[in-house]
C-alpha cells in the first residue's frame, strides 16, 4: 500500500527521513499583496504586463484587420476606416497608443534597472511616475493633432 503524502515542510528532514521523532516545521509564508505598501513602481510593473498583453491581442488583431482591408480593396478599407473613426474605434486606437507608450517607457525603465541603476527607492518611484506621465504626454502629442484634423 502506498504511503500518504506528507505536508510540505521547510526543508528539515521529516520523521521518516531523519529516522527520529523530529517534527516537521511549517513553511514560511510569502509576503502577500496586503502586506506591501502600494507605490507607483508596483503599478508600473503591473501595467507593463497588461499593456504587453493588450498590444499583443488587440493590437495584432487590429493590425491584421487593417492589412487585410488594404489587401481586399477599397470597399473593405472604407469599412475599416469607418470603424476606426467611430467614437468606440477612436477609444480603442487612443488606448492602444497609450499602451504602446506605457510599455515602451516601462521597457526603458527596466533596461536602466537591468544596467544596475535606479534601484534606490526614491529614484525608482520617480522613474515610475515619469513613465506614467510620459506615456500620457506622448499619447496626447500624437492624438491632439490627429483628432483636430478629423473635424
For the chain, the structural domain boundaries read: 40-148
**pLDDT class of 109 with cuts at 50, 70, 90:** very high
Q: Which long-range contacts (CB under 8 A, 24 or more apart) does 137-141 make?
A: 138/101, 138/105, 139/94, 139/97, 139/98, 139/101
- C-alpha span between 127 and 74 (Å, rounded): 45
Q: What's the CATH architecture for 40-148?
A: Up-down Bundle (1.20)
pTM, to two decimals: 0.74
In tens, the pLDDT along 43-86 reads 999 999 999 999 999 999 999 999 999 999 999 999 999 999 99
Highest mean pLDDT: which range of 6-20, 33-47, 136-150: 136-150
The four Cα atoms 42, 45, 46, 48 give a dihedral, to 10 degrees, of: 160
Highest mean pLDDT: which range of 5-14, 37-46, 98-107: 98-107
Amino acid at each position: 500500500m502506498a504511503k500518504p503524502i506528507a505536508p510540505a515542510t521547510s526543508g528539515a528532514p521529516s520523521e521518516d527521513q531523519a529516522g527520529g521523532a523530529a517534527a516537521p516545521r511549517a513553511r514560511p509564508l510569502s509576503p502577500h499583496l496586503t502586506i506591501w505598501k502600494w507605490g507607483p513602481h508596483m503599478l508600473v510593473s503591473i501595467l507593463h504586463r497588461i499593456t504587453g498583453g493588450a498590444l499583443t491581442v488587440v493590437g495584432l488583431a487590429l493590425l491584421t484587420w487593417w492589412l487585410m482591408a488594404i489587401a481586399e480593396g477599397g470597399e473593405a478599407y472604407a469599412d475599416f476606416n469607418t470603424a476606426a473613426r467611430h467614437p468606440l474605434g477612436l477609444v480603442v486606437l487612443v488606448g492602444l497608443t497609450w499602451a504602446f507608450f506605457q510599455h515602451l517607457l516601462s521597457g526603458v525603465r527596466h533596461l536602466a534597472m537591468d544596467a544596475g541603476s535606479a534601484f534606490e527607492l526614491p529614484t525608482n518611484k520617480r522613474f515610475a511616475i515619469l513613465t506614467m506621465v510620459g506615456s500620457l504626454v506622448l499619447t496626447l502629442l500624437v492624438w491632439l493633432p490627429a483628432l483636430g484634423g478629423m473635424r
